[in-house]
Amino acid sequence: MTAVRLPDWGRSPVVTELARPLPRDGQVLVRVEAVGLCRSDLHVIDADRGTMPFRPPFTLGHEVAGRITAHGPAAAVTVGRRVVIHGPWGCGSCLRCTQGRDNYCDRRAELSWAGMGLGLDGGMAEYVLVPSARHLVPIGDLDAGEAAPLTDAGLTSYHAVAGIRPRLGADSTVAVIGVGGLGHLAVQMLRALTPCRVIAVDVREEALALAERSGAHLSTKATTDTSRVLRATTSGTGVDAVLDFVGSRSTLDLGTRGLRADGDLVLVGSGGGELTVRKPGSLPPGSRISLPFWGSRDELADVVALSRSGALKVEAERFPLTAVHEAMSALRDGRLSGRAVLVPG
């Protein structure tokens, strides 16, 4: 089978041929119909040796939709069923993993992987071997190119929104900073699941247009005056929550300056920014800071249900699997509207 592998730290991914895996025991083999390309993939590719616990070589790709084609004797699954894969594989035995919360595995610091395509062979291939059927969520007739990004772009956004949802009422305002593959889904989720007002912020005009198509009440370009815009649109109080899908120094600064007292700063992006936390300091009184990572298997089922209901529309550009380098260049250069999806031949 064809696969996209990271051969070693400091080297570019390669498109190569591998033997098709054979499932044993409780393993499940999934034929990949579509796999998302994520900025997290770029972080892994660009990482210096020793900065991540992963051990190359391994196949990239952690956003996968496909069809069950084979399984080991201990796996109770149906061949032919179309599924997405819950990607944050943990140890499999701690309490959180057995609850489907592998994203917060209690043994995460001991593992040499973070999940599928993140230290373990992932889905940028024609087939992917899944260690357990508990990682699979049925998708019915959902389009694979839309379903694959739900497993990270959708799930991470849903998990971030779920953490603040109980505090969002009709008089609340949320700022979504960074309207790309994750941000445009977060805007749609906020509109579908809460009565709050949504303000989208980005440096790109095309991203602001995407935010408007996704249902944002207001979109504004990120400038040195954006925090004043956020406060002006909330009668001077500031926004009740900030979802930062960039995580750079400038977006963290914007988030803290635009946040209301007793507000939520939700840092999703891994843009390398740093925030000094002290009291008193730059954060408003009563602020809550969260660092959501992916989401649970049950939350992925919720995201799939939202998509099947028509509440979510994934904007994605599709590339052949063998055009992975073209897709990565488009992602690096900010030329994508929404998500990049690779489709095996």
Q: What is the CATH number of the domain that holds 281?
A: 3.40.50.720
The answer on pLDDT for 45 being more than 90 is: yes
Domain boundary among 245, 270, 290: 290
Which residue, of 290, 305, 328, is where some domain finishes?
A: 290
CATH number, domain at 130? 3.90.180.10
Q: Are residues 140 and 275 in the same domain?
A: no
Task: Give the pLDDT confidence score for residue 71 in this predicted structure.
Answer: 98
Q: Which residue among 274, 290, 306 closes a domain? A: 290
Decide the pairing of beta strands 127-130 and 288-290: unpaired
Residues 263 and 189 in one domain: yes
Say yes or no: 142 and 60 in one domain: yes
* DSSP-based helix, strand, coil % in the chain, nearest 5: 30, 25, 45
pLDDT at 40 (0 to 100): 92
Q: Are residues 194 and 128 in the same domain?
A: no
The reported pLDDT for the residue numbered 323 is 98
Average pLDDT, the chain: 96
Chain centre distance of CA 200: 18
| pLDDT average, residue stretch 85-91 | 97
Residue 16 clears pLDDT 90, i.e. is over it:
yes
Higher-pLDDT residue of 224 and 297 is 297
Task: Report the domain count for the chain.
Answer: 2
The per-residue pLDDT for range 322-342, each reduced to its tens digit, is 999 999 999 999 888 889 999
Determine the pLDDT at residue 130.
Answer: 98
Give this prediction's pTM: 0.96
> What's the pLDDT score for residue 334?
86
Residues 6+ apart with CB under 8 A from 253: none
pLDDT at 176: 98
Summarize the confidence of residues 198-212 as an average pLDDT.
96
pLDDT of residue 4: 98
Task: Taking residues 234-256, report their average pLDDT.
Answer: 96
Cβ of 329: how many Cβ atoms within 10 Å?
11
> Could you give the CA distance from residue 98 to residue 31 in angstroms, rounded to a whole number?
25
Residues 274 and 311 in one domain: no
- Tell me: do 134 and 173 sit in the same domain: no
Residue 337: per-residue pLDDT: 81
Same-domain status, 87 and 130: yes
93-108 tens-digit pLDDT: 999 999 999 999 999 9
Looking at the structure, tell me whether residues 141 and 177 fall in a common domain.
Answer: no
Provide the sign of the torsion angle of the four alpha carbons 206, 211, 215, 217, taken in this order: negative
3-class SS at 199?
A: strand
List, in sequence order, the alpha helices (H) in 224-309.
Answer: 226-232, 249-258, 297-309
CB 54 within 8 A of CB 116: no
265 pLDDT band, cuts 50/70/90, is: very high
pLDDT for the residue 229: 92
Same structural domain, 161 and 281: yes
> Structural domain of residue 68, as residue ranges?
2-152+295-343
Question: Hey, what long-range contacts does 200-209 have (CB within 8 A, 24 or more apart)?
Answer: 200/175, 200/176, 201/175, 201/176, 201/177, 201/226, 201/230, 201/254, 202/177, 202/178, 204/334, 206/337, 207/178, 207/179, 207/180, 207/183, 207/337, 208/179
Q: What is the pLDDT of residue 101?
A: 98
Share of the chain above pLDDT 90, in %: 97
Task: Judge if 254 and 167 occupy the same domain.
Answer: yes
Residues 59 and 180 in one domain: no
Q: Are residues 136 and 167 in the same domain?
A: no
- State both tokens at 29: 């083999």
Name, in order, each residue with C-beta under 8 angstroms of 1's C-beta and a sequence gap of 6 or more. 17, 18, 19, 20, 125, 126, 127
